[in-house]
Amino acid sequence: MNGLLYLGLGYLGAGLGAGLCLIAAAFGIARLASAALEGTARQPEAAANLRTTMIIPAALIEGLGFFALVICLLVALNFGLPKGGESQPSNATATTEATH
């Protein structure tokens, strides 16, 4: 029962971590786009330069968000794997016992 509690809490933590990372990435991109649109409204002739300088950091923020999501998913998927300390019979012993 205690192992299932840790498993459930691990999944909950990984899900919350993924959600927080993606919310933070979305907030960062929204602030970046807001600042770029404000700059375009103040100086319409600089719109092309602002758009170019906005796209590069937006791609970096999005990549960082996806990287954090992948890490959280790997952590979540790792919780279900058996740990190294548990003793499990190998295939060689299981087949030997089955033939005798």
User: Residue 5 has what pLDDT?
Assistant: 81
Per DSSP, the residues of 11-60 read: HHHHHHHHHHHHHHHHHHHHHHHHHHHHHHHH-GGGHHHHHHHHHHHHHH
* Assigned token pair, 36: 């770029």
pLDDT digits (tens, 9 = 90+) for 26-49: 999 999 999 999 999 999 999 999
Q: What is the pLDDT of residue 63?
A: 93
In the chain, the domains with their CATH numbers are 13-78 (1.20.20.10)
Q: How far apart are CA 35 and CA 31, in angstroms?
A: 6
25 CB-contact burial (10 Å; exposed 0-12 / middle 13-18 / buried 19+): buried
Residues of the chain with pLDDT under 50: none
